[in-house]
Chain A
Amino acid sequence: MIANLILGLPDQRPGGLVLTLIVAVGSGATAALLGIAYASACVRLPRTSLLLQAALAILRGVPLLLLIFVLGQTTRLTLPAAGFLALVLYSVSHIGETFRSFLARYPAPMTDQARLLGIGPVREWLTFRLPWTFRRSLDALATHWISLLKDTGALVVLGIGELTTVTKVLSERGSLAEWRTVVLTAGLLYLVTAVLLIRALAALRARYALKDVMSS
């Protein structure tokens, strides 16, 4: 039972906790990159990107479960790919706005100083502005990534064999005692993973996050 919960059902490996981690880390990282691109587009081309902003605002109002279901049913993607894409879109709709708000608040004097030092706009954007935005967003990003780890459970609607799906399958098979063991073990696995992630992100924030005092 433990092996199934961690590695996935025998015919669906990798699955279980391993697949949950792969999907959470992969979609979180992809969404962070796309979020930066979205924020850059919004700041550089505010009027042109209005439609994109409106689309993401609507996307934030749609449940992740519905998004996963629609992509799984209407696209030609494989079910895991559709689930992954849904998680990425859902994440971008949330963290894209975080990046946009911080990128727009980049202090103008820092841009002026970069120009005085002869640093071009592209290099300034890549070496100063984006890292500054990323470090300012770390608090919000950490909250989202923890939430994303748990949100991978919504993939259960497509039957992709991540931890929640495996838990559902195993708990429906057995007796009440088995159901209790399966659910408690799965809950414990999520809890331990979430607590470890919280600790890791707290360390990352303590090391890299920019606070108001430091930036002023």
Chain B
Amino acid sequence: MSAFAVYVAATVVLWATSAAMALVLAVLLAAGGRSPRRPVRIVAGSLTTLTRGVPTSLLVIAAGTFAMGTPPPGWLPNPFPGTPDGMVVVAWSIVAALAFGSAGHLGVILRSAYESLGEHWHEQVRTMGSSTRMTLALVVREVIPAGLPPVGARLVHHLHNTAFAALFPVADLFGWVQLQANTTFEVTHYAVVGALGYVVLSGAIWGACRLIEARVAGDRRVRRRPPAVAAVAVPR
């Protein structure tokens, strides 16, 4: 694998692990914000404000600087291509910081999408007497079309935030651009290659979100189609 591919793969791994963590945290924050218990709502609200009010750059610097002096434990895996084993704690700390930096924004998006369903929708679900599992499945299916476009935009922003990893000895695409530019002084050349890499990755995230959105919309159309055959078969 070429050096460029290794650094692209490193960015993808950084993005995927931190985005997955951020989405889990976001669901917890969104659910906490809707909790009937006041202390849970206060904690979720405070954490959301904290993650939205503090820059990701500062979170990454804080996490990275703290982790720099920590020796890596043997059990900690190193899934980050190009990052030395000695820096794996720093890499995981940066993943956690990136996740925390996006969780509040994603949580607000998910909560808004959920609230956009309206009271009538919740009333219908209650009237139908759906089980918790079925209600959850319905919520996911209904929330996706409303929440996916802003979630996709945030995930692209999240990809751009992974560039902060270059402030530490953790491999990523921006770090590769910096390294090559400083070694060869061909800044423009490597910047264009790096920018293209980011544009392609951003396009892939955006495209994947659109695909999921179209697929869910298709499912909804199929499920909502009137049962024509059944209607004809009803005896008069």
Residue of A nearest to B159 (CB): A63
A179: Cβ under 8 A from any B Cβ: yes
CB <8 Å contact, B198 and A70: no
CB <8 Å contact, A164 and B65: no
Stretch from A10-18, A100-108, A185-193 contacting the other chain: A185-193
Residue of B nearest to A155 (CB): B57
B121: Cβ under 8 A from any A Cβ: no
CB <8 Å contact, A186 and B187: no
CB <8 Å contact, B188 and A74: yes
CA distance A187 to B63 in the complex (A): 13
Chain B residues with Cβ below 8 Å from A60 are: 202
B6: Cβ under 8 A from any A Cβ: no
Tell me the residues in window 138-162 of chain A with beta carbons closer than 8 Å to chain B beta carbons.
146, 150-154, 156-157
B interface bracket (residues with beta carbon within 8 Å of A): 35 or more
A93 to chain B, nearest CB (A): 12
CB <8 Å contact, B55 and A66: no
B140: Cβ under 8 A from any A Cβ: no
Consensus secondary structure, chain B interface: helix
CB <8 Å contact, B191 and A74: yes
Evaluate whether A150 and B188 lie within 8 angstroms (CB atoms) in the complex, with A63-B174, A195-B49 already known.
no
Residue of B nearest to A68 (CB): B163
Scoring A residues 53 to 95 as 1 if CB is less than 8 Å from chain B, else 0, what string do you get? 0000010111111100110011000000000000000000000
User: Total interface residues on A, using CB and 8 Å?
Assistant: 35
B58: Cβ under 8 A from any A Cβ: yes
CB <8 Å contact, B54 and A65: no
B81 to chain A, nearest CB (A): 19
Evaluate whether A61 and B53 lie within 8 angstroms (CB atoms) in the complex, with A74-B191, A153-B58, A186-B58 already known.
no
CB <8 Å contact, B188 and A172: no
Chain B residues with Cβ below 8 Å from A69 are: 174, 177-178, 181, 191
CB <8 Å contact, B174 and A156: no
Q: Which of B58, B69, B198, B199 meets A164, CB within 8 Å?
A: B58
Chain B residues with Cβ below 8 Å from A137 are: none
CB <8 Å contact, B178 and A62: no
A194: Cβ under 8 A from any B Cβ: yes
CB <8 Å contact, A183 and B195: no
**A65, A150, A172, A176: most-surrounded residue (chain B CB, <10 A):** A65
Chain B residues with Cβ below 8 Å from A164 are: 55, 57-58, 61
B50: Cβ under 8 A from any A Cβ: yes
Tell me the residues in window 32-75 of chain B with beta carbons closer than 8 Å to chain A beta carbons.
49-50, 52-58, 61-62, 65-66, 69
CB <8 Å contact, A168 and B198: no
CB <8 Å contact, B191 and A150: no
B210: Cβ under 8 A from any A Cβ: no
CA distance A191 to B164 in the complex (A): 20
A199 to chain B, nearest CB (A): 12
CB <8 Å contact, B199 and A65: no
- A residues neighboring B (CB under 8 Å): 58, 60-66, 69-70, 73-74, 146, 150-154, 156-157, 163-164, 167-168, 171-172, 176, 179, 183, 186-187, 190-191, 194-195
